[in-house]
Amino acid sequence: MTFRKFFSDSFAALTTAAALIDAGGEIVIANQAFLEVLKDGTEQIIGKKLSAFCLPGSALEREMPFTRNWQGSVHWTNSKGLGILIQLNAIVLLEDGVCHGTLIFIQPALLENVAESELSHRAKQLESLGLLSASIAHDLNNILTGVLGHVSFLRLSLEGGDSNSESLLAIEDSARKAASMTQQIVEFAKGGSIEKGPVDFAGVIGAGARLLSSSFPKEISFSHSVPKEKIYIHGDEGELTQLVMNLAINARDAISGAGKIHLVLRRLVVESTSDEEDSNLPPGVYAHLRISDDGDGIPLEIQDKIFEPFFTTKDSKGTGVGLATVASIVNAHAGEIFVDSESGRGTTFDIYLPMTEERLSEEAQSQTETGLPKSERSERILVIDDEESIRLVVQKSLEHLGYQVEVVASGAEALEKFSDQLDSFSLVILDMIMPKMSGDQVFLKLKELHEQVPVLLASGYSNDRRARVVLDGGGLGYIQKPFAVEDLAIEVRRCIDESQSK
C-alpha cells in the first residue's frame, strides 16, 4: 500500500470531521464526517477555497492563507445556502518555516445550526434594503444633481480668487460624498459590480477630511496626515471614499464625550512578509491607511464579529452595515484590514491596499490644465428630463459653454419637438427614469424618426438593464447622476465629436 493510499484511508476513517487544504487555501480532501457536519457533498467542496464558504470580512477570511494555528467560530454557508455555525481548528503544516498545507477540524458550535428563519430574515433584510435604496436613489440623485450642478456652475463662473470659492468647494465635496454613499448602499445590498480605474487615494482622503473636520462635534478633535505625493489605487473612487467615511464615523461613534481621532496615510514598501508584525502582506507597494481613536474600544470577545453584516453594538442607533461595507470594499480592492483594540483604550484600524502604477489618462490630466471644452459652432442640444431643477442647471451650464439648448419635461414633448427639427440637434441628453414614457422607450421612438439620433443617456443607475438597451442600440454615452458641470462638459463634447465623425 502506498503512503498516499494509507493516508487517504486513515483520513477517511477518522470520526472527527476533518479536511486538508493546500497552501493556497483550496480544500484537497475531506472525510465523510466533515461532509455530514456541513450537509454538503464532495463535489461541492473539493477544489474550492475554504474562504468561499464564510462571510466576507469574517475573522476566518482575514486569517487566510494560514501561517499559524488558528481556532474560532465560523458562520459557514454550504452550497445549498444553508448557514451553519461551526467551531473550526486549523493546524498549519510547516517545514523549514514554509506552509505546505493546513489540517482543518470542525464540529458544530454550541449554538446548533443557524436557524433557517434567521437566514431567511437576513435575506429579506438585504432584499428590502435593495428595493428601498433603489426606490429612493433616483429621487436623491435628482436632488443632488441640482445641488452639485448649480454649485459647480457657480464655482466655475466666479473668479479663481473669490472669497466664496472655498465654501462652494466644500458644498461640492459634500454633494459628491452624499452621491457616493447613496450609490454604495445600493451596490452593497444588490451585490452589484463596479468599474475600476486609477484613483488618487491621497486626494480622496484630503477631500473627505475637509468634510469630516467640519461635521464632527467640537469636543472631538480630528486630525489627519496625508502625503503631498499622489498615491494611486486601482479601484473605485466612490467606494474608497465610503471606506474612509465609514471608518471615521465608526471612530466618532466609539467616543463618549471628548476624544481624538487621527488618520494617517503613507506609502509602504513591503520587501518580505516579516516587515509588518501584524500582517502577512506579500511583498509589494501599498497604501497604508491607519485610523485611530481613544474611544471605548471593542471587547476582545466580539472582535471577530464586527465585520459581519447587521452586527452592531449601537442598539437602535446602528445599522450593522458600516464595518461590513468597509470589509467588503477592502476585499474588492485586494487589500487587508486589521483591528487592534481593547476595552477602554481605543481602537486602531490598519488598511493596506495595493498601489498601482496606473495614472490618470493624459486627456483627463490636460483637461484640468486647459479648461473645459466648449461649443465650437454653437451646436444645438435637446435636454429631456422631468425634473425642473436638472433642466435648469443643464441649460445654464451648457449655454455658459456656448451651446444652444432647448429643454422639455417629457418624452411626448421631446418627440414633438424633435420631429419638427430632425437634423437641427447635435445631441439629445436623455433622462432614463421619467413618468409615462421611460428613457429607453423615448430612445426607440426617436430612432424611428432618425436612425442615427445622437443620444447621451443620463441616469442614477449604472447597471440598469434598460440603459443597456440605449447603449447597445447606438447611444453615444452615459453620464451618471449626480454630475458636475465639468463631467457634463467633457461628455457632451466627446459625444458630439463622435457623432460628427461618423
Domain total in the chain: 3
Residue 139 lies in a domain: no
Average pLDDT of the residues in 117-146:
60
CATH code of the domain in which 104 resides:
3.30.450.20
Q: Is residue 200, in this structure, part of any structural domain at all?
A: no
Give pLDDT, residue 408. 94
- Domain closes at, from 82, 114, 146: 114
Confidence label for 385 from pLDDT (cuts 50, 70 and 90): very high
Question: Identity (one letter) of the amino acid at 388?
Answer: E
44-66 average pLDDT score: 75
The Cα 178–Cα 180 span in angstroms is 5
Query: Where does a domain end: 114, 136, 159?
Result: 114
Whether 119 shows a pLDDT value over 90: the answer reads no
Shared domain for 409 and 489, answered yes or no, is yes
pLDDT at 4: 60
Residue 79 in any domain: the answer is: yes
- Same-domain pairing of 388 and 476: yes
Handedness of CA 241, 242, 247, 251 (dihedral sign): positive
Residue 172 confidence class, pLDDT cut points 50, 70, 90: confident
Least confident of 154-168, 180-194, 346-360, 418-432: 180-194
Q: Of 97-106, 135-144, 299-308, 448-457, where does mean pLDDT reach its minimum?
A: 135-144
Q: Which helix (H) or strand (E) holds 238?
A: helix 237-253
pLDDT-derived band at 212, boundaries 50, 70, 90: confident
Q: Same structural domain for residues 374 and 257?
A: no
Looking at residue 154, its pLDDT comes to 80
Check whether residue 375 and residue 341 sit in a common domain.
no
Amino acid 257: pLDDT: 83
Give the H or E element holding residue 10: helix 3-13
In a shared domain, residues 328 and 388:
no
Per-residue pLDDT, 187: 57
Evaluate whether residue 171 is within a structural domain: no
The set of residues, in sequence order, having a beta carbon less than 8 Å from that of 364 and lying 6+ positions away, is none
46 DSSP 8-state letter: T
CB atoms within 10 A of CB 463: 13
* Cβ-based neighbour number of residue 27 at 10 Å: 20
- pLDDT on residue 198: 86
Asked if residues 394 and 149 have their Cβ atoms less than 8 Å apart, the reply is: yes
Whether residue 414 sits in one domain with residue 306:
no
User: Average pLDDT of 237-243?
Assistant: 82
Same domain, yes or no, for 330 and 463?
no
Q: How many residues does the chain have?
A: 502
Q: Does residue 487 fall inside a structural domain?
A: yes
- Which of these ranges, 65-79, 367-381, 388-402, 469-483, has the smallest mean pLDDT? 367-381
CATH code, 312: 3.30.565.10
22 is a domain residue: yes
We report the CATH number of the domain holding residue 479 as 3.40.50.2300
Say if residue 199's pLDDT is above 50: yes
Alpha-carbon gap, residue 151 to 160, rounded angstroms: 14
Rounded mean pLDDT, 450-473: 80
- Position 330 confidence tier, pLDDT thresholds 50, 70, 90: confident
Closest CA to 427 of 339, 356, 336, 488: 488
How far is residue 394's CA from residue 398's CA, in Å, rounded to a whole number? 6
Q: Using only C-alpha atoms, what is the Rg of the chain? A: 27
Q: What is the phi/psi pair of residue 146, to 5°? A: -65, -45
Give a yes or no: residue 165 inside a domain. no
* CB-facing half-sphere around the CA of 20: CA atoms within 13 A: 14
Boundary residue ending a domain (75, 99, 114): 114
Residue 309: band (very low, low, confident or very high) from pLDDT cuts 50, 70, 90? low
Instruction: Give the 3-state secondary structure of residue 352.
Output: strand
SS3 state at 263: strand
pLDDT over 80 (residue 244): yes
- Indicate whether 338 belongs to any domain: yes
Question: For the ranges 72-86, 177-191, 203-217, which has the lowest average pLDDT?
Answer: 177-191
Looking at the structure, do residues 277 and 356 belong to the same domain, yes or no? yes
Question: Between 211 and 389, where is the model more confident?
Answer: 389
- Choose from 76-80, 195-199, 202-206, 280-284 the range with maximum mean pLDDT: 202-206
Amino acid code (one letter) for 87? Q
Can you give the residue range of the structural domain that contains 434? 363-501
What would the grid cell of residue 199 be?
484613483
- The model carries a pTM of 0.48
The pLDDT value recorded for residue 403 is 92
Most confidently predicted of 136-150, 317-331, 343-357: 343-357
Both 414 and 335 in one domain: the answer is no
| β partners of residue 54 | 76
Same domain, 387 and 471: yes
Percentage, residues of the chain above pLDDT 70? 74
Type of residue numbered 206: G
pLDDT digits (tens, 9 = 90+) for 140-166: 777 778 788 888 788 777 755 566 777
pLDDT at 463 (0 to 100)? 52
Same domain for 351 and 327, yes or no, is yes
- Does 20 lie in the same domain as 45? yes
